[in-house]
Amino acid sequence: MRKFILAAAAGLLLPVTASAASFTVEELAAGEGHEGDCYTWLAREPAEDPSRAIFEDVGGRAYIKVDGQVLSLRASGGNRGEEHSTATFEDKTTGLTVAQDLVIEQASGADNWGAYIVKGKLKITYQGETQTIRVRGKSVCEAPERSAVPSDRKRPQK
């Protein structure tokens, strides 16, 4: 009996782990996200194939695949800075919210376009459950004023 009580007491001292969110965020296949000249695409970090985006942001709209369904979200807030960029996207009909928090790591490109390497996290809330995914990707735009990254960001000299 004493061993049982000690085992039960020890079990109470073990750390409690939270269960994983019951929804799955999947990679976007070709043609499922945005196709255009200005976008930010983000892949999981670390990723086996960093070219496989799980989230694409085109400024006022974003795309994500949850439980096999590609969902379109609308921008609902954010703040762009020279080194850090945040944005929030929502789809009120499905209860999906994505908070994007990115650090701008590297800038390159000519004067008429920008390409930025970004790193950060997505906090995804869907039907009352939340998960956070570390991401890395690029923000690319032929028209920098439409990019998620400020157009006045200085680019390295060649």
Is pTM beyond 0.75? Reply is no
| Cα–Cα distance for residue pair 83/104, rounded to 1 Å | 5
Please tell me the predicted confidence (pLDDT) of residue 59. Answer: 76
Measured distance between the N- and C-terminal CA atoms of the chain, rounded to whole angstroms? 76
Please tell me the predicted confidence (pLDDT) of residue 74. Answer: 95
Helix (H) or strand (E) holding 49: none
| Cα–Cα distance for residue pair 142/110, rounded to 1 Å | 9
With cut-offs at 50, 70 and 90, classify the pLDDT of residue 80. confident
Please determine, looking at this structure, whether the domain spanning 21-144 carries the CATH number 3.40.1350: no
Asked if 147 and 139 touch (Cβ cutoff 8 Å), the reply is yes
Helix (H) or strand (E) holding 104: strand 96-108
With cut-offs at 50, 70 and 90, classify the pLDDT of residue 151. very low
- The residues, ordered by sequence, that sit 6+ positions from 59 with a Cβ below 8 Å of its Cβ are 38, 75, 146, 147, 148
Query: Domain ranges in the chain?
Result: 21-144
pLDDT digits (tens, 9 = 90+) for 89-141: 999 999 999 999 999 887 766 554 577 889 999 999 999 999 999 999 988 87
Which region among 13-17, 30-34, 64-68, 94-98 has the lowest average model confidence (pLDDT)? 13-17
Q: Averaged over 45-74, what is the pLDDT?
A: 89
Across 10-14, 15-19, 51-55, the highest mean pLDDT is recorded for 51-55
With cut-offs at 50, 70 and 90, classify the pLDDT of residue 143. low
Structure tokens at 123: 């906090």
Please tell me the predicted confidence (pLDDT) of residue 63. Answer: 95
pLDDT digits (tens, 9 = 90+) for 22-58: 899 999 988 888 767 788 889 999 877 777 899 998 8
Strand partners, 67: none
Please tell me the predicted confidence (pLDDT) of residue 140. Answer: 83
